[in-house]
Amino acid sequence: MISLLRIASRCLRLSVELPLRGMLLTYYLAVFLVAERPRWKSAAGSRVHRGTAQATGLWCIFAVAQGRRVSQNLIAFLSCLKDAGYNVILVNNGNLSRELANNFLPYCHSVVERPRGGRDFGGYKWGTRAIRRFADAEHPVTQVIYCNDSVFVRPSALRQSLERLRQLDDDFIGVTETFSPVYHLQSWFFAVSGRLFADPAFQEYWQNYRPLSYRLHCIKHGEIGLSRYCIGMGITPRLLYTQGGVIDIMFHGSLSETVDRLLGALGPLEYETLRDKIQQITFAEAGENAPMRSFLRHYVTESLGRSNTMNAANLILLRETGFPFLKKDLVYRGRYLVTQIDEVVGEWVGEDAAHEREILGYFRARGSLRDLRSPTAMLARIGVI
């Protein structure tokens, strides 16, 4: 009976989603053709503020949509990148005041104002072209990071991760992967080698990419499209945190420790199908019963395989490993509760703890879409904006 209700609910949801997606795609395509593409071709409103260059061959394209206030966590992110030797090209979606740009210049090779539109992959496209212009033969490109401002960082852990990253010689490196809806590296932070960056086929991808502002276009043709394109070139991605590795982290230690770990990071949506199974095992007094452990691991593996890895396991990675990233939309899209973020970020010490107030304030101020019924909330919940 429950399965039939879920199927009926899914069918009803699709009957609403598909027409909305079609209308929104039409709208964003019209905006792109009429307003955004002409500005991109003429570079209308674009401007470059020059900062400090480093002769390292390491580059970072950082796509942002800067508001009126400068995030101190973003400054810490940029500072870690600069200290690790990366020339940061901060590409803003739209114009910046001179005062705002000056806040970023001490940490950047350059701050770029680009024509509005295209989201993060629009920034990546613009930054890819900028590196070709800025790099010189004396200091050839050895590695390029692509990242955006959709995450908070834990600075102490980020420094260690960047040190590890710059030692890797792989052509295509991602932090996390996901199989939802198809396999791809998650695009809020990834890196490519200088060899791949210089490959004409890689450059052709960016030249041909159309920077629409429609979120699902960015996912399909940007995040998923880039992974498919590189894999089609015969490049096997290197993952810092594979899904199999995440499962091993979850199940490290005793069964009771595993259950505690899962309960501590149990998101309202991602583990909804696991809740009954975990309760059964929790109250069955199973001890270290091997079949129970295997049974639970199977259900968690199945759930994670159908989920966005960061949505499902971000808090576990933060708590159990040296993972440096916290996605900003975990609470907003109803994945986690604010109290769960409180518990994890509240454990930070030293320089990391200095960012606790800003991070927790952000999650509280932005709130959750889970129970809102406005048209905007509904569109955001289904992922189209």
Express each pLDDT in 84-113 by its tens digit: 999 999 999 999 999 999 999 999 999 999
pLDDT at residue 355 is higher than 90: yes
CA angle 207, 212, 215 (to 5 degrees): 125
What pLDDT does residue 139 have? 80
By the 10 Å C-beta count (0-12 exposed, 13-18 middle, 19+ buried), 46 is classed as middle
Nearest to 158 by CA among 290, 356, 355, 325: 325
The pLDDT, as a whole number, for residue 2 is: 43
In this predicted structure, what is the pLDDT of residue 383? 66
Q: What is the pLDDT of residue 292?
A: 76
Distance CA 269, CA 340 (A): 14
Q: How far apart are the first and last CA of the chain?
A: 33
Evaluate whether 25 touches 385 at the Cβ level (below 8 Å): no
DSSP classification of residue 325: E
| CA atoms 378, 379, 380, 384: torsion sign | positive
Query: What is the pTM for the complete model shown?
Result: 0.91
- Specify the DSSP element, H or E, that contains 77: helix 72-83
Q: How many helices (H) and strands (E) does the chain have?
A: 19, 11
Q: What is the pLDDT of residue 242?
A: 93
Dist CA 102 CA 9 (whole Å): 51
Is the CA virtual torsion 155, 162, 90, 208 positive or negative?
negative
Residue 58 has pLDDT above 90, yes or no: yes
β-bridge pairing 110-114 and 87-93: parallel
**Closest to 285 measured CA to CA, from 320, 253, 256:** 256
What is the Cα–Cα distance from 265 to 35, expressed in whole angstroms? 43
pLDDT at site 254: 84
Q: Which of 120, 128, 239, 122 is nearest to 185 (CA)?
A: 239
Q: How do residues 124-182 score in pLDDT, each as one tens digit?
A: 999 999 999 998 867 889 999 999 999 999 999 999 999 999 999 999 999 999 988 88
Question: Percent helix, strand, coil in the chain (nearest 5)?
Answer: 55, 15, 30
Output the pLDDT for position 294: 83
CA 259 remoteness from chain centre: 27
80 near 155, Cβ under 8 Å? yes
Range(s) within the chain of domains with CATH label 3.90.550.10: 47-241
Residue 5: is its pLDDT beyond 50?
A: no
Distance separating alpha carbons of residues 110 and 48, to the nearest angstrom: 7
Q: Which CATH architecture has domain 47-241?
A: Alpha-Beta Complex (3.90)
CA-CA-CA-CA torsion for 164, 170, 174, 179, nearest 10 degrees? -140
Contacting residues for 153 by C-beta, under 8 A, at least 6 apart: 73, 76, 77, 80, 324, 325, 326
List the beta strands (DSSP E) in 17-73. 47-50, 58-64
